[in-house]
Every structure is written in C-alpha cells, then in structure tokens.
Copies of this chain bind each other. A is one copy, B any other.
Amino acid sequence: MAKRATITDVAKKAGVSVATVSRFFADSGYPVSKQAGSRIQSAARQLDYTPNVVGRMLKTNTSKDIGVIIPTIRNPFYPEVLLGIEKTAAARGYQILLCNSLRNIATEKKYIDSLYQKQVRGIIIAGADGSAAHYREMTLKGMQLLALDSDESGACCASIYYDYRKSGVIMARHLKEMGHINVAFVTSPLTKQSRKDILAGVAEVLDIRRENIIIDGTELETESGIYEYEMGRRLSSEVLALKARPTAVIAVNDITAAGVIKGLSESGIRVPEDMSVAGFDNIDLSAMISPPLTTVNQPGFETGALAADTLIDMIEGKETERINIEPELIKRASVSRIGGKKHE
C-alpha cells in the first residue's frame, strides 16, 4: 500500500500552490480559476487523492461527527430513531458515533468524555439518565447536548420532548369511546418522565383507581429485549387478581402489552373478547402478534430526524425551527367495544 497522497503532492503535480488546492476542495466558494481547477482535478485523480479530514479537523476545530447515546439499540424503538437521525445527519454531512450506555451512568459518562476528546461538537442523548451535573459541565465546555425524552435534561441542556401526555390522553379517549370505564395501567417503574406522562394523560381522561395502577418492582434495561415482555406477562396475573376486574388494560409500551396479552391468554382470558389490551410505540412487533395491538404511534423516525436537525442547527449556530410531532392512534384488533352502544 502506497503512502497516501497529500495536498502538497497534488499541488506539485498540478503546478499550483497548496493554498489553491485547498481552496478547490473546500466548498467555501472561494474563487479558483477554471484552468487551475481542472489541472488540480486531474492531478488529484491520478494520485488518487482525497482530503484528509483529520488535518482539516485539527485546523478548523470542527468535527462532522455527532454522538448518539441510547440505552440500548435492543429496545425496538431506537432503531427507528437512529435511522431518522442518520438520514438527516447524512443529508447535512454528518456521521454518527453510536454508543449504547446500557443505562449505566459510568458508561455514559465515559462515552461523553471520549466524544469530547474526539472533538465531537454535539451529542444526542436518548433516554438520558446520566447526572445533570455532568451534562452541565460538558455544555459549559462548549458541547451541544440534546436530550430526547428525558426528565432532568430540561434543567441542563436542550431537549426535544415528545408529548407523551397527549399520547395517554388519546389512548384513554379511545378506550372510553369503546365503553371501557374500569381500566388497569401496567408499567415498569415510573423512573422516566415519559412513563409518568403517559399515565398522567390516561388519568386525565379515565378515572383510574389506585389499585389499578400496577407497577413492576424492578428494572434492568441491560437485560434482553424480552424483559419487558416477561414483565407484562407476569403482571397480567395482578390484573386478574383485582377485586373489580377491569375490562381493559393499558400497558406503558407495546412490548409490555404483548406480554400482558400472552399472560392473559395463558390464564384463559381471550383478548379482546374478554379483556382489551393496548400499548404505546407502534413498533413492528405490534402488528405481528395476535391479536394485532391497538397502540399510539410514537414516530421514532421523525423524532430522530428532528433531533438531528436541531442538534446540527445548534452546532452550526443556526436558528432552530420548532416542529411538532403528533401522536397518532393506531386502531387494531386488541381493543373491542363493550357496553352495547355502537354509535359509530
């Protein structure tokens, strides 16, 4: 393997100065004569020259990478987000350094520091869970942090907040319309703002009794993607143990809902004939299980795209235009009408 050609080699071969070559390859619009341009181009082609981004980075102190930190790509919501991020990032010339924190604060911190050393100018942190102090410190150092769906983040860095409360409202309204009054809510611990907000939204519309709110005791995001499914399956028995048996269950997300359906059917309860079940997220899985799950679409792709645009605006010092992402009800077969009224 031959040594890589540098800007100097090209300049020599093309009979111009390095400055001219540099100007030619930077898109800065700096004038370079047609002649010089074409000679540079042919020289570059012959030498198989490509600009060395590292040299440029060192000089201009500007990186075209952005960091993306998520809990785990195993959570089927994040692939969507990531694809959205990547699409708009690519369109604006940026590339993604992916980091799975596994909800480990130390790991997250290490990643942030490492990105900082790499001169990365901005990071999207999804499901942020790190210390606000560290975020603030990095912001002070000039890093742009953008939190997706985080509780504390508001205090210490920019954030895109998806309106989970509204999602809850939408779902609850639908269940109410379908005749459900006595509804249970099944969730992992309310440690994330998103979960609290979904519940709050639901409770705005439906009168959820305290004992109908069933919260799991543990949370281990490191575990396999199947964890929340198993949780839902397990908690379904608590639903059935309720004195006044609910006619419907709202789970905090689709995976949990899938587990609830499984658990119920193992107990001989048919969904949706005997009990309705609904979730949130609209992941691919939701359409594949039986019965297909009624859910609220949290558009991961759009959220990711918006996040990337916002972050890059922040990095480049542009004004960010605020776009709203609207939750949308996806009606499928896991919720049935009860109470006879069929006015639709």
A63 contacts which chain B residues (CB < 8 A)? 54
Instruction: Quote the shortest CB–CB distance from A278 to chain B (angstroms).
Output: 17
Does A162 lie at the interface of the complex (its beta carbon under 8 Å from any beta carbon of B)? no
The answer, among B1, B118, B225, for a CB contact under 8 Å with A142, is B1
Q: How extensive is the interface on chain A, given as a class?
A: 35 or more
The answer to whether A86 touches B74 (Cβ under 8 A) is: no
Instruction: List the number of copies, as a whole number.
Output: 2
Q: Which residues of the partner chain B approach A58 to less than 8 Å between Cβ atoms?
A: 52, 54-55, 58
Whether B100 pairs with A225 at a CB distance below 8 angstroms is: no
Partner among B4, B98, B117, B226 whose Cβ is within 8 Å of the Cβ of A52: B117
Cβ contact of A284, chosen from B96, B119, B224, B289, cutoff 8 A: B224
Nearest-Cβ distance from residue A85 to partner chain B, whole angstroms: 10
Alpha-carbon gap, A72 to B82, bound state (A): 10
Cα A229 to Cα B96 in complex, Å, equals: 29
Please give the distance in Å from A72's CB to the nearest CB on chain B. Answer: 7
Supplied contacts A4-B142, A48-B141, A76-B76, 6 more A-B pairs, CB within 8 Å: A4-B141, A54-B57, A72-B79, A74-B80, A96-B98, A97-B98
The 4 closest A-B pairs by CB, nearest first: A1-B142, A225-B284, A73-B79, A98-B98
7 of the cross-chain contacts (CB-CB < 8 Å) are A50-B116, A55-B58, A95-B99, A95-B114, A96-B97, A97-B98, A285-B288
